[in-house]
Amino acid sequence: MKLNVKAFGLTCGLFVGVGLFLVTWWIILFSGATNEVTFIGKVYRGYTISPLGSVIGLAWGLVDGFIGGAIFAWLYNFFAGKGEKK
């Protein structure tokens, strides 16, 4: 069985982006917004624990998740094709 690379990449991008967005708002609700640079903020430029930072994290997460998911699906298809009998 082969994976659809674009669909898998989009799904991973949505999971990462929306997940980061929701976690950011969870932190804002319980701890308050801060503009301190976090570990994720060092990787994703512009990301902070703030409403604007959550949108920036959403965008970065979509891109990063899509690329990671697409690479994973492509590698899966590549190695799954090696084991098929012809």
Q: Distance between CA atoms of 27 and 15, rounded to whole angstroms? A: 18
Listed in sequence order, the DSSP H helices in the chain are: 5-31, 39-43, 51-82
pLDDT at 85: 65
pLDDT surpasses 90 at 57 = yes
Name the pTM for this structure. 0.86
pLDDT of residue 86: 59
Q: Is the pLDDT of residue 35 over 90?
A: no
Number of Cβ within a 10 Å radius of residue 58? 20
> Would you list the domain boundaries of the chain?
5-80
